[in-house]
Amino acid sequence: MIQKLLKVIFGSKYERDLKRLTPIVIQINSLEESMRSLSDSELSSQTRKFKERLSKGETLDDILPEAFATVREAALRKLGMRHFDVQMMGGISLHWGNISEMKTGEGKTLTSTLAVYLNALAGKGVHVVTVNDYLARRDANWMKPIYDFLELSVGIIQHDMEHDDRKKAYSADITYGTNNEYGFDYLRDNMVSHIDHKVQRSHYFAIVDEVDSILIDEARTPLIISGPSDESTDKYTRIDKIIPRLVEGEDYEKDEKAKNTLMTEKGVAHVEEILGIENLYAPQNVDLVHHVHQALKAHKIFQRDVDYVVQNGEVIIVDEFTGRLMSGRRYSDGLHQALEAKEGVPIARESQTLASITFQNYFRLYEKLSGMTGTADTEAEEFHKIYNLDVIVIPPNVPVQRKDAADRVYRTEKEKFTAILNEIKDCRDKKQPVLVGTISIEKSEVLARLLAQAGIAHNVLNAKFHEKEAEIIANAGKPAAVTIATNMAGRGTDIVLGGAQLFKENLESWKESDPVVSEFKEAVVRADFERAESIAQRLDSQAKKTKANEILTSAKIWRKNHEEVLEAGGLHILGTERHEARRIDNQLRGRSGRQGDPGSSRFYLSLQDDLMRIFGSDRIAGIMERLKMPEGQEIEHPMVSNAIARAQKRVEGHNFDIRKHLLEYDDVMNRQRIVIYKMRNEVLEGGDVTGQAKSFLEEMIEAQVVTTCEGGNPNGWEWDALKEWFEGLGLPWKVDQDEIKKSKNPQLAIFDSLNNAAQNFYQDKADRIGADVWKLLERNIFLDILDHRWKEHLYSMDHLREGIWTVGYGEKNPLVEYKLQGFRLFDQAIENMKYEIVSFLVRVEVTEKTQLPEEKKEYKKVGQELTGGFQELQGAKPKNPAAEAMPVTSGGGGSERKTSRRKRK
């Protein structure tokens, strides 16, 4: 009631947002004529003027209208593209650190240039984040003429890029790259042995394209850099053999909603009997329980050709949101090995975490974060709670003409596919292109077989054929085209009605200074074909005339196809199943009706679909039963659509809880990570390691004195234990016990005596070896021991997290216990590190034969990259962990990526 009243008084959030944005857009538009009057050199010099104004105290907000007007004019001159007013609104929203929700085809890439340019003027670097290397490369090269013209540099990050090229890309004013590359570079930067080997600058401003895909869908997949563990892979084969002998309902329960399995008491006893052990839950069998659980998930939850495919003897993950193959990625926590055992392919060794971070905590490093997507409003609450990002819905430039029909629900999948086949035939007969969306490779192949049997020509776009993606999408808008796509969402390419405009590509690539050619190009773009034919006859060579005629023929064919598709009703979207997330369904629908084009969409469902089956289709089934609906008859009613929407909201809420839970656990590691990385950076940046080491010495001596010298009577102290500890550090014991006993404050006297002796011994050693050599030794020893102890701590934290659920049986909160025990482990790791550093430095000796560590000439990918758990692997134990490790990411169980090393030249 209160919400409704506030809405009446103040308007909806959408109306309030437009009210804030509109005056600024009007101000930008008022500058358009003055910008148009500037020469090219005057327009280019705007960047230098803006930087001068910023240096004198003006803010980015102060210069925003002029900066945006400058970019609009530059885009018009260099790309022939003028920013619409709604794109200006999107750009302002991005600069404010919000998410701009802009529908498909509204020009998000061009919109981003406004906020990118403005924030790049600060000179701290702007990161544009895309979902894959292709889009990073495409968008950077596409928008580069604007930035070049305005005197700003552009860098592109690509997988397996050389170190020097990578560093150069990050030093540019604007950098394009993928979320994985940014995240792994951050982790690798915090494993290098020299400051010059770092590639990233500060985390100032990031614009995340397809922000819902990266910050929501991939939030369950931590980035992990890992090295191999020493454990044998035989256990996976051994455990895999017992899984087929377990019976669902008796030995285990399957929870498809949570994508999990749970052993029953009978199942535990059965496993104990098969393995010949007394107690599966004995402390020494913790790993065994974990592997049985992962093997059960591999067999009973993860499906071949849905969650993964097997190619060339490898298990390759399929991204559940985009349908792409994630080559080189591996699930973590032993799940990938369990899948390899299930499929009978070679089993890779499990890995040990060397560094990790979630996307949630990585992107929260930025001073300012913003994003773009066609579908964010359904996740507005999560964006606000996790990232403090507000969603601003930007109106379309032209109203959407697409007609979204109500869902049709059938009793069985067979009936559903029959109806789908009939609708595709109807569309084909009237020359209407159809995009058919499926949620798995398996379903796309079933549908492809049915179409082939019916003699209907079609293209398939799924993880198995993604290499042909651009070509397939280019043809998806042709008359009568039938395209099957697995999770089309997020593919980043518009489907043009009539098919690919090849004539435009040919026009752009035809570089001629001939004014007649320019006149011809303009006529073709305006679709004035009669005038273009007339101009072509005036060209001064046969080669030019031939080329002009080829382009003209191509343009006419496209125009005919375009009009034919418009007449047929535009692109028709046919969804074969609802996705768990409404966003993905909305993204599929959004492929049609771009920029005011006509279009239509409809989803076909059955009671056997996963979403309907798992999340309750009993009510709908009951209605069908009561109505005595014959086979093949569908139910189409708003009540059905509402029931499905409610099911999707429940799943989205469940997935939000999982992501929030992951973040709560990673926040524990994040605080520890910040402490360790701060220590590393201080050393790398030339911090006072000598002062740190002396401080460690003092702290340790004080703690030991407090422990062994309790009370005011020295006769009751543990003198032998204190002496043994002090000499164990490598320090000479020169304490006069009688003098200590005579002093007024014996505890302070023994502390001063030991501390002075230790500090003098340390300084004498430094002076004897020489300042330069000693500084290098301190630095390298400090980093090596810090990295080693951090690696061991991560291993301990992994094991703590694996077993922490057991405290629930004692009615304790696992998260609270994880925090308490995690910080105890961290404190102990820090103390061990201090002791090891001091002990090593006190004992180290330099002779003429000593090989001092040379500066590393390599910036290697450390280990193996994991996401979801995805990982990067490492061979033999390196002298410096950072020199040899590998990257990882995590989700659904975790994943790994073996990568080549990047060498510094």
Taking the C-alpha atoms of residue 220 and residue 228, their distance in angstroms, rounded to an integer, is 23
Half-sphere exposure in the Cβ direction for 192 (13 Å, CA): 28
In terms of Cα–Cα distance, which of 127, 182, 149, 184 is closest to 71?
149
Residue 147 neighbours by CB under 8 Å, 6+ apart: 113, 116, 117, 120, 153, 154, 173, 174
Nearest-5° Cα angle at 208, 188 to 131: 70
Calculate Rg over the CA atoms of the chain.
32
* Three-class DSSP category at 456: coil
Per DSSP, the three-state class of 852 is coil
Any known ligand binding at 162?
A: no
The annotation status of 707 as a binding-site residue, yes or no, is no
Tracing tokens 């014996």 back to the chain, one arrives at 746
3-state secondary structure 591-619: CCCHHHCCEEEEEEEECCCHHHHHCCCHH
Burial of 545 by CB count in 10 Å (0-12 exposed, 13-18 middle, 19+ buried)? middle
Separation between Cα atoms, residue 361 and residue 183, nearest integer Å: 10
- Do 569 and 431 form a contact (C-beta atoms < 8 A)? no
Ligand-binding annotation for 874, yes or no, is no
Give which of 397, 604, 579, 426 is closest to 488, Cα–Cα: 579
Query: What size, in residues, is the chain?
Result: 905
Q: Is 716 annotated as belonging to a binding site?
A: no
Q: Is residue 107 annotated as involved in ligand binding?
A: yes
Q: Is 87 annotated as a binding residue?
A: yes
Beta pairing class for 308-311 and 260-263? unpaired
One-letter amino acid identity for 163?
A: H
Retrieve residue 170's tokens: 């990050």
CB contact at 8 A, 28 and 88? yes
d(CA 79, CA 144): 10
Sign of torsion over alpha carbons 275, 277, 278, 279: negative
Task: Quote the CA–CA distance of 418 and 633 in Å, as a whole number.
Answer: 11
The CA distance from 308 to 339, in Å, is 9
- What is 707-740 written as a DSSP string? HH--SS-GGGS-HHHHHHHHHHTT------HHHH
**Residue 204, helix vs strand vs coil:** coil
For residue 703, the Cα-to-chain-centroid distance in whole angstroms is 44
Alpha-carbon gap, residue 88 to 91, rounded angstroms: 5
Residue 141 amino acid letter? N
- Which amino acid appears at position 572 of this protein? H
C-alpha 855/C-alpha 848 separation (Å) is 19
Report the SS3 class of residue 371.
strand
Known binding residue 78? Answer is: no
Residue with tokens 């590998």: 886
Residue 513: other Cβ atoms inside 10 A: 6
DSSP letter string, 396-429: PSS----EEPPPEEESSHHHHHHHHHHHHHHHHH
Residues 6+ apart with CB under 8 A from 529: 523, 552, 555, 556, 559
The amino acid that residue 61 corresponds to is D
* DSSP reduced 3-state for 890: strand
What distance in Å separates the CA atoms of residue 587 and residue 487, rounded to the nearest whole number?
9
What are the helix (H) ranges across 96-251? 108-120, 133-149, 163-171, 179-189, 211-212, 234-242
Residues annotated within the binding site are: 87, 105-109, 494
Residues annotated within the binding site for ATP are: 87, 105-109, 494
